């Protein structure tokens, strides 16, 4: 394989990707099977990954933690794709102007909004 051949994935991306690019990447890689599985089945996979993240936080290495955070995020993005939700838009609408409760960039709410 030459350095210009992109048929095999590399283990390290050549640049950071944006959140929007990540959602599109997950869509390109997995949408057909994710859509066939549906939201309920995909949600169960997300919950399994959350459990693995909990274990990694308690007793895993830094690499384990990174991997499990990435997996949880990927499964959350997967559910958004199946549900037709653009997460960049959703996050911008809810948090782009600060805390949804107090509207400040440094939250001053007494409790979680």
Q: Which of 84, 98, 74 is nearest to 19 (CA)?
A: 74
pLDDT band at 68 (very low <50, low <70, confident <90, very high): very high
User: How far is the CA of 101 from the CAs of 34, 65, 111, 113, in angstroms?
Assistant: 34, 30, 9, 5
pLDDT score at 5: 44
- What is the CA angle 53-57-62, rounded to 5? 100
pLDDT score at 4: 43
pLDDT at residue 11 greater than cutoff 90: no
Domain 19-95 has CATH 1.10.287.1080: yes
- For the stretch 19-39, pLDDT in tens is 999 999 999 999 999 999 999
85-105: average pLDDT = 95
Q: Say if CB 13 and CB 32 are below 8 A apart.
A: no
User: How far is the CA of 75 from the CAs of 2, 35, 42, 111, in angstroms?
Assistant: 32, 12, 7, 28
pLDDT band at 12 (very low <50, low <70, confident <90, very high): low
- For the stretch 34-64, pLDDT in tens is 999 999 999 999 999 999 999 999 999 999 9
Domain ranges in the chain are 19-95
pLDDT band at 3 (very low <50, low <70, confident <90, very high): very low
């Amino acid at each position: 394989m030459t350095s210009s051949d992109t048929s095999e994935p590399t283990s390290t991306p050549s640049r950071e990707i944006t959140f929007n690019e990540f959602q599109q990447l997950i869509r390109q890689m997995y949408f057909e099977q994710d859509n066939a599985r549906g939201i309920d089945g995909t949600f169960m996979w997300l919950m399994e990954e959350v459990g693995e993240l909990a274990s990694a936080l308690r007793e895993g290495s830094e690499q384990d933690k990174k991997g499990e955070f990435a997996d949880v995020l990927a499964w959350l993005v997967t559910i958004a794709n199946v549900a037709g939700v653009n997460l960049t838009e959703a996050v911008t609408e809810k948090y782009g102007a600060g805390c949804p409760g107090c509207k400040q960039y440094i939250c001053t709410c007494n409790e979680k909004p």
